[in-house]
């Protein structure tokens, strides 16, 4: 599954911050200087051989981690297809892997997403659903908001009969620090339209989630 057709897209400068006129975006050098300061703060010598290029590497890594700020998830869904021959059943993309970062500790969130919708006159390429997940995941997040953003965007752009999203993820902010509980995952869901109103439709979707987990 191709989440990003051009890997250079993931490495473009983060642009959303440019919209905040009262908070001009720092330069790359300023970002590297900030990382160098943090290395000194933890007790390291940022000028030793093994660390001289680390601030620049961190800037490039952050550009990739948070490349979602430079993407418009609604635009990703603009190209649709109407040649459906009357298809009006559920479309499900199962187990979409993603990596995000917690906005409270900038610690990794690693998980999978199940995304479903029941079309109304038009469908979208399945890779686009994965790209919407990726665009929102590549931002500072909390899982509850990530779940809602994915479902709400699909609902607003495609205007289907219903949308369902389930996310299961492990949060390193509670695995590597704090309570340090390993193997614990968090489950969130958002049901809209027929998935909220029709118990049978919701149950059918959730059965696909459980069957994927049991493989």
Assess contact for 128 and 81: CB atoms under 8 A.
no
- The CATH architecture that domain 73-213 belongs to is 2-Layer Sandwich (3.30)
Residue 172 in tokens: 């390193």
Annotation marks residue 102 as catalytic: yes
Cβ atoms < 10 Å from Cβ of 91: 15
Pick the catalytic residue from 28, 44, 103, 170: 103
Residue 78 among the catalytic residues: no
Q: Which residues contact 145 (CB under 8 A, 6 or more apart)?
A: none
Q: What's the CA gap between 114 and 18, in Å, rounded?
A: 32
CB 114 within 8 A of CB 95: yes
- The whole-model pTM stands at 0.86
pLDDT tens digits along 34-60: 999 999 999 999 999 999 999 999 999
Tell me the C-alpha distance between 130 and 102, whole Å.
20
The string of pLDDT tens digits covering residues 139-170 is: 999 999 999 999 999 999 999 999 999 999 99
83 has catalytic annotation: no
Q: Which of 105, 170, 172, 204 is catalytic?
A: 105
Domain ranges of the chain: 7-68, 73-213
105 catalytic residue (yes or no): yes
Catalytic residue among 78, 104, 156, 213: 104
**101 catalytic per annotation:** no
Per residue in 192-209, pLDDT (tens digit) is 999 999 999 999 999 999
Give, in words, the CATH class of 7-68.
Answer: mainly alpha
173 is catalytic: yes
State both tokens at 73.
């998830």
Q: What is the pLDDT of residues 49-100, one digit of tens each?
A: 999 999 999 999 999 999 999 999 999 999 999 888 888 899 999 999 999 9
């Amino acid at each position: 599954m191709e989440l990003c057709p051009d890997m250079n897209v993931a490495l473009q400068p983060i642009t959303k911050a440019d919209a905040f006129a009262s908070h001009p975006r720092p330069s790359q050098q300023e970002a590297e200087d900030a990382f160098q300061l943090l290395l000194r703060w933890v007790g390291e010598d940022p000028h030793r051989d093994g660390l001289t290029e680390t601030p620049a590497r961190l800037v490039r890594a952050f550009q990739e981690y948070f490349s979602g700020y430079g993407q418009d998830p609604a635009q990703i869904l603009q190209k649709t297809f109407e040649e459906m021959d009357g298809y009006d059943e559920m479309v499900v993309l199962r187990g979409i892997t993603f990596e995000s970062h917690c906005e409270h500790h900038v610690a990794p969130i690693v998980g999978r997403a199940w995304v479903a919708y029941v079309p109304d006159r038009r469908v979208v390429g399945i890779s686009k659903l994965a790209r919407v997940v990726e665009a929102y995941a590549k931002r500072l997040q909390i899982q509850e908001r990530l779940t809602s953003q994915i479902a709400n965007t699909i609902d607003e752009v495609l205007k289907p009969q219903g949308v369902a999203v389930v996310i299961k993820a492990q949060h390193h902010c509670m695995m590597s620090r704090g309570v340090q509980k390993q193997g614990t995952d968090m489950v969130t869901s958002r049901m809209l339209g027929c998935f909220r109103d029709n118990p049978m439709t919701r149950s059918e979707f959730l059965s696909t989630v459980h069957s994927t987990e049991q493989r």
